[in-house]
């Protein structure tokens, strides 16, 4: 069975676990870096990217996360997780993991719209995906190898670059598991390539 890790340092962890299980895969909450070896793909959940970064450093996870990214195993960053994957964060000197060729802006939908729901057409996933945005970032600029999967009001809110998938919203907060399912399929494909 496909094993999907969910980085369990902070944020919406349990909801991702349930979503992965609903897709017929096994979910593993990753609390120690050694557990990364056990999983075929990794979800970086939403939460607060600055807090998550602090905990990544505290528990000495950064090198292992970068190694994981280089191993060929897929990674899916949702909301704060997308910020962790991006190679450029507007207004900051350094990225975090920095493996996906996108520039992101944090909290970019304005204070008055701290959270909202929007119906999205996500290429290859769903034409009617109810997406929950919470203090969401968006992708301001995407490199040429990045496939734009969804936009909201002209802003990029979901994208894929090879084995890296990122979205601005929280796909785990509804019972629509199609985007998680898409990620599980990415993992299955990558296993065929790696094995």
Task: Report the 3 state secondary structure along the chain.
Answer: CCEEEEECCCCCHHHHHHHHHHCCCEEEEECCHHHHHHCCEEEECCCCHHHHHHHHHHCCCHHHHHHHHHCCCCEEEECHHHHHHEEEECCCCCCCCCCEEEEEECCCCCHHHCEEEEEEEECCCEEEEEEEEECCCEEEEECCCCEEEEEECCEEEEEEECCEEEECCCHHHCCCCHHHHHHHHHHHHHHHHHC
Rule CB under 6 A: say whether 80 interacts with ligand GLN. yes
Q: Is 79 a catalytic residue?
A: yes
Q: Which is nearer to ligand GLN, 106 or 163 (CB)?
A: 106
| Shortest Å, Cβ 27 to ligand GLN | 19
Rule CB under 6 A: say whether 132 interacts with ligand GLN. no
Rule CB under 6 A: say whether 106 interacts with ligand GLN. yes
| Shortest Å, Cβ 33 to ligand GLN | 21
Catalytic residue (choose from 79, 161, 167, 177):
79
Catalytic residue (choose from 15, 105, 161, 172):
172
Rule CB under 6 A: say whether 2 interacts with ligand GLN. no
Question: Where along the sequence are the contacts to ligand GLN (CB under 6 A)?
Answer: 46-49, 79-80, 83, 106-107, 134-135, 137
Mind telling me the catalytic residues? 79, 170, 172
């Amino acid at each position: 069975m496909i094993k999907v890790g969910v980085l369990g340092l902070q944020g919406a962890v349990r909801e991702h676990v349930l979503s992965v299980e609903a897709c017929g895969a096994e979910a593993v909450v990753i609390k120690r870096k050694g557990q990364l070896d056990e999983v075929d793909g990794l979800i970086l959940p939403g939460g607060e990217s600055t807090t998550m970064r602090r905990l990544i450093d505290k528990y000495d996870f950064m090198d292992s996360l970068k190694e994981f990214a280089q191993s060929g195993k897929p990674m899916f960053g949702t909301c704060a997780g997308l910020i962790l994957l991006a190679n450029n964060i507007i207004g900051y000197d350094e990225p975090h993991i920095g493996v996906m060729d996108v520039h992101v802006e944090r909290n970019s939908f304005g204070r008055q719209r701290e959270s909202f729901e929007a119906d999205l057409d996500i290429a290859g996933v769903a034409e009617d995906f109810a997406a929950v945005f919470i203090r969401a970032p968006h992708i301001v600029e995407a490199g040429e190898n990045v496939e734009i999967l969804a936009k909201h009001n002209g802003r990029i809110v979901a994208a894929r670059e090879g084995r890296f998938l990122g979205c601005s919203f929280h796909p785990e907060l509804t019972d629509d598991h199609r985007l998680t399912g898409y990620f599980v399929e990415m993992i299955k494909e990558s296993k065929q390539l790696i094995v």
